[in-house]
């Protein structure tokens, strides 16, 4: 990665300057190397001189000039230019030679391009959707589907051993409420056509048993089929009910009791979660003897860490569960797994059609199910639109735009770039079988130095960013980078295609440009794969 190479140059230059006595011998804090969005600021920029300047009480501009001289002395051919700007930033402009050499690297790595070894084989579980089995998946429930699936794909790309899980909340009050709804008694809470159809099939007359039966049907015949349509493959569907029936919930509560973290008050059993940065203690057994959601969640996470041996667990919840985060984090810490659980909250989804909001309510029976959305716009479009916003941003799903099959639709725009490249490669008389498996030496040995047009170089700059996009997403889980990156890459390709004729009478230039677009096709396909979106060869 260019960014990593720049970081190593800065670190090496700093040490050399220290040896020369130009900089004092101190531990250098973490520095930032950012991708520059604006061309006048170069390709990358760093605040290294300002960070070091603060530590040694020295003018950052002077420190930046010293670093610049040392860096250019180490690897001048890496850059066209290195400049220092106030108040002490160092801007890096990558050289044409460096960029041109990257094409062969991408062609050689193929589908492995973008892989890193950050995970080193550590086990990670990503648990997502986990909606109550009280009805079909709504678009609100399902937002976690693409998010969790893609996050898992990214973590696999960097070397983690990933398992994807769905936690089935098939125990407790929601199942009882579902049973009452099936029986259509005074305590019914859920309505809709699916409830009417379940009521015809279920013969149990006791609410809890009717609810359990209905919940199993909903999981098997609705939710699992929807996740299959979304292209999500779970490694584990875990039943909350089994935790209670096997005694695992009681076992975990006993562990907490032995740690003097359980007490009784107002006939209920409480967990001293306030000892672990929670604002209040939490009830784990209610006055009527029923276990709370937290009790089951603690048993489930004890299972994840104790039996499954995960090094990290990532739970993806809806924003309406924000109040439950502190209690579970406190419990996980109390059980001895501090720092091993990350909980991400996804904000709500609003479906817009011609600018108007569509109302969603499982209890009123006015649903916009994920199946309905998939029928309207297709899997690829649905996933992409769900991924475009960060987890903490409310998602407005523009149904009108999603239905368009034109360049205004970002999914169409990206996929069309891939299909156009395929068409060009076919026309070029290069055997596609060779390109897909092991590109011809002719392509890897093309005269890349002929690629000097601004749009050729800008396209290469986008191509080489994929590993950095993957690395950053691994660290902060901001998966919206992927659709943004895919769109920027497609845009840069379309700009290149507009200004640079690929197939021409100049054989050497044609070969170089064919290699470039083949590398572009590879990277587009890789990022689409990470998002679980198809890369069509015809449109």
Identify whether residues 453 and 517 lie together within a single domain.
Answer: yes
Domain tally, the chain: 3
Domain residue limits at 513? 407-530
Chain centre distance of CA 132 = 23
Predicted confidence (pLDDT) at residue 361 exceeds the cutoff of 60: no
Q: How confident is the model at residue 358 (pLDDT cuts 50, 70, 90)?
A: confident
> What is the average pLDDT across 109-138?
96
Give the domain CATH number at 490: 1.10.730.10
Q: Is position 221 within any domain?
A: yes
Identify whether residues 473 and 513 lie together within a single domain.
Answer: yes
Q: How confident is the model at residue 312 (pLDDT cuts 50, 70, 90)?
A: very high
Query: Which of 84-93, 426-435, 501-510 shows the lowest per-residue confidence on average (mean pLDDT)?
Result: 426-435
d(CA 33, CA 96): 20
Identify whether residues 232 and 381 lie together within a single domain.
Answer: yes
pLDDT, mean over the chain: 93
Q: What is the pLDDT of residues 458-498, one digit of tens each?
A: 999 999 999 999 999 999 999 999 999 999 999 999 999 99
Identify whether residues 464 and 496 lie together within a single domain.
Answer: yes
d(CA 360, CA 351): 9
Chain centre distance of CA 280 = 32
> What is the average pLDDT across 412-436?
80
Q: Is position 313 within any domain?
A: no
Identify whether residues 200 and 237 lie together within a single domain.
Answer: yes
Enter the tokens of residue 322.
Answer: 């924000």
Query: Which of 226-230, 241-245, 435-439 shows the lowest per-residue confidence on average (mean pLDDT)?
Result: 435-439
In order, the DSSP letters of 473-509 are HHHH--TTHHHHHHHHHHHHHHHHHHHS-SS-S-HHH
Which residue, 239, 76, 113, 237, is CA-closest to 169? Answer: 239
Query: Which of 144-158, 262-276, 333-347, 395-409 shows the lowest per-residue confidence on average (mean pLDDT)?
Result: 395-409
| pLDDT for residue 360 | 55
Give the domain CATH number at 212: 3.40.50.620
Q: Is position 263 within any domain?
A: no
In order, the DSSP letters of 336-405 are T-TT-EEEEEE--EEEEETTEEEP-BTTTTB--BHHHHHHHH-HHHHHHHHHSS-TTS-EEEEHHHHT--
Q: What is the pLDDT of residues 66-116, one digit of tens each?
A: 999 999 999 888 999 999 999 999 999 999 999 999 999 999 999 999 999
Identify whether residues 241 and 361 lie together within a single domain.
Answer: yes
d(CA 481, CA 390): 9
Q: Is position 466 within any domain?
A: yes
Query: C-alpha angle with apex 438: 436 to 441, nearest 5 degrees?
Result: 125
Identify whether residues 413 and 523 lie together within a single domain.
Answer: yes
Q: What is the pLDDT of residues 329-352, one digit of tens each?
A: 999 999 999 999 999 999 999 998
Edge-to-edge strands, sheet with 395-398: 356-358, 349-353, 395-398
Q: Helix, strand, or coil here: 2?
A: helix
Identify whether residues 140 and 66 lie together within a single domain.
Answer: no
Q: How confident is the model at residue 441 (pLDDT cuts 50, 70, 90)?
A: very low
Predicted confidence (pLDDT) at residue 454 exceeds the cutoff of 50: yes
Query: C-alpha angle with apex 307: 304 to 308, nearest 5 degrees?
Result: 55
Identify whether residues 397 and 380 lie together within a single domain.
Answer: yes
Q: Is position 25 within any domain?
A: yes
C-alpha distances (whole Å) from 375 to each of 133, 217, 230, 231, 369 are 22, 22, 11, 14, 10
Q: Among all chains, which residue has been given the structure tokens 């959601």?
A: 293
Give the domain CATH number at 82: 3.30.1360.70
Identify whether residues 29 and 136 lie together within a single domain.
Answer: no
| pLDDT for residue 355 | 80
Of 72, 94, 116, which residue is a domain's last?
Answer: 94
| pLDDT for residue 433 | 45
Identify whether residues 464 and 485 lie together within a single domain.
Answer: yes
Element (H, E) at 181: helix 173-183
| pLDDT for residue 75 | 85
- On whether the CB atoms of residues 303 and 243 are closer than 8 A, the answer is yes
Identify whether residues 177 and 30 lie together within a single domain.
Answer: no
C-alpha distances (whole Å) from 47 to each of 19, 29, 379, 504 are 22, 11, 42, 44
Q: Is position 338 within any domain?
A: no
User: Which 8-state DSSP code applies to residue 452?
Assistant: -
d(CA 91, CA 33): 10
Q: Among all chains, which residue has been given the structure tokens 């920029």?
A: 45
d(CA 438, CA 108): 7
Tally of CA atoms within 13 A in the half-sphere of 225 that contains its CB: 11
R_g (Cα) of the chain, nearest Å: 28
Q: Is position 389 within any domain?
A: yes
* Selected residue with higher pLDDT from 380 and 28: 380
Predicted confidence (pLDDT) at residue 35 exceeds the cutoff of 80: yes
Query: Which of 3-17, 33-47, 130-144, 434-448 shows the lowest per-residue confidence on average (mean pLDDT)?
Result: 434-448
């Amino acid at each position: 990665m260019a960014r990593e190479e720049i970081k190593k140059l800065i670190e090496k230059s700093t040490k050399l300057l220290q040896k020369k006595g130009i900089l004092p011998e101190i531990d250098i804090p973490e520095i930032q190397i950012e991708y520059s969005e604006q061309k006048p600021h170069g390709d990358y920029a760093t605040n290294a001189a300002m960070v070091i300047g603060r530590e040694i009480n020295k003018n950052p501009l002077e420190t930046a000039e010293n670093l610049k001289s040392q860096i250019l002395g180490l690897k001048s051919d890496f850059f066209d230019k290195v400049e220092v700007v106030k108040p002490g930033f160092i801007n890096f402009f990558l050289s044409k030679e460096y960029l041109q050499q990257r094409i062969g690297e991408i062609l050689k790595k193929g589908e492995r391009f973008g892989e890193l070894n950050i995970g080193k084989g550590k086990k990670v579980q990503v648990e997502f959707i986990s909606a109550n089995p009280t009805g079909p998946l709504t678009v609100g429930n399902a937002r976690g589907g693409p998010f969790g699936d893609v996050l898992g794909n990214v973590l696999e790309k960097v070397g983690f051993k990933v398992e994807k899980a769905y936690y089935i909340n098939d125990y407790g009050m929601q199942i009882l409420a579902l049973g009452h709804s099936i029986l259509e008694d005074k305590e019914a809470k859920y309505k809709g056509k699916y409830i009417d159809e379940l009521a015809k099939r279920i013969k149990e007359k006791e609410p809890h048993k009717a609810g359990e039966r209905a919940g199993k049907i909903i999981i098997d015949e609705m939710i699992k089929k929807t996740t299959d349509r979304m292209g999500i493959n779970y490694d584990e569907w875990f039943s909350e009910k089994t935790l209670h029936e096997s005694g695992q919930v009681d076992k975990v509560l006993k562990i907490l009791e032995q740690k003097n973290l359980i007490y009784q008050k107002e006939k209920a059993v409480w967990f001293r979660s306030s000892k672990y940065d929670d604002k209040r203690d939490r009830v784990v057994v209610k006055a009527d003897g029923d276990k709370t959601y937290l009790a089951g969640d603690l048993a489930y996470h004890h299972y994840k860490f104790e039996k499954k041996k995960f090094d990290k667990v990532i739970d993806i919840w809806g924003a309406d569960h924000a109040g439950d985060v502190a209690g579970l984090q406190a419990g996980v810490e109390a059980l001895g797994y501090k720092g091993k659980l990350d909980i991400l909250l996804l904000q709500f989804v609003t479906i817009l059609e011609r600018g108007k909001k569509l109302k969603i309510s499982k209890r009123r029976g006015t649903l916009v199910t994920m199946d309905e959305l998939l029928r309207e716009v297709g899997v690829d479009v649905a996933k992409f639109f769900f991924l475009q916003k960060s987890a903490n941003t409310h998602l407005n799903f523009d149904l009108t735009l999603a239905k368009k099959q034109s360049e205004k639709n970002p999914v169409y725009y990206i996929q069309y770039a891939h299909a156009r490249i395929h068409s060009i490669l076919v026309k070029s008389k290069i055997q596609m079988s060779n390109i897909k498996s092991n590109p011809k030496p002719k392509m890897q040995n093309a005269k890349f130095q002929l690629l000097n047009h601004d749009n050729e170089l800008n396209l290469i700059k986008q191509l080489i960013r994929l590993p950095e996009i993957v690395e950053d997403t691994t660290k902060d889980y901001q998966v919206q980078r992927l659709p943004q990156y895919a769109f920027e890459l497609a845009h840069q390709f379309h700009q290149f295609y507009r200004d640079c004729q690929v197939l021409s009478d100049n054989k050497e230039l044609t070969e170089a440009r064919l290699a470039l677009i083949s590398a572009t096709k590879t990277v587009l396909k890789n990022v689409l794969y990470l998002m679980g979106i198809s890369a069509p060869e015809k449109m």
